[in-house]
Amino acid sequence: MSAGAKKKCPTWLVYACSSYAALEFLSTEVNLNFVVEKYTDGFKKTYAPVPNEVFYSFANEYLQFLSQADEADAVAVLRDYTFFLINFSSITTPRKRKGLMGGYSWLDPADLAIYDTEDAKKHFQSYIVTRRSGKLKKAPVGWKPSDEDGFDPVATIMEKEIDPLAYLTAE
């Protein structure tokens, strides 16, 4: 790898942002293509490019599954999934946020990241099954990504307002 080559965005972070993009799509009624663009643009500075199609396909899979599963409150499910991904690396394991030197290392670029739609779909489906069993902690009422310590760079991207009028002239 060349010295100037950027490393990849961690897979869990792409899942979390895709979930939040699906939530934004349902909440704002802005076209999903426009929602995912803010993630692609926002991650350019830190990570190797993540194509719009990755965020779009993951978010679309989440939305399709929720539709088929007949979830009563899809927005709450997507918020809980995003919360889970940010805070846990598995059902029982909290996500390790700080490295050995005390700095936040959980958002560091990864050498290897796999962006596979089928894996994203399976991960989300297993989350839904476990969620229904009541074994997962849900997002607190009023939770937003900026509530998380050390998550500011990504939370800023996630919570950035999308101006629907800006896309009226977009092709």
At 3, the pLDDT band (50, 70, 90 cuts) reads very low
DSSP 29-90: ---HHHHHHHHHHHHTTTSS---HHHHHHHHHHHHHHHHHHT-S-HHHHHHHHHHHHHHBSS
Instruction: Name, in order, each residue with C-beta under 8 angstroms of 140's C-beta and a sequence gap of 6 or more.
Output: 147
Angle in degrees, CA 63, 65, 68, rounded to 5: 110
| Single pTM value for the model | 0.89
Q: pLDDT tens digits for 5-28? A: 689 999 999 999 999 999 999 998
- pLDDT at position 71 is 83
Q: pLDDT tens digits for 143-171? A: 999 999 889 999 999 999 887 666 555 55
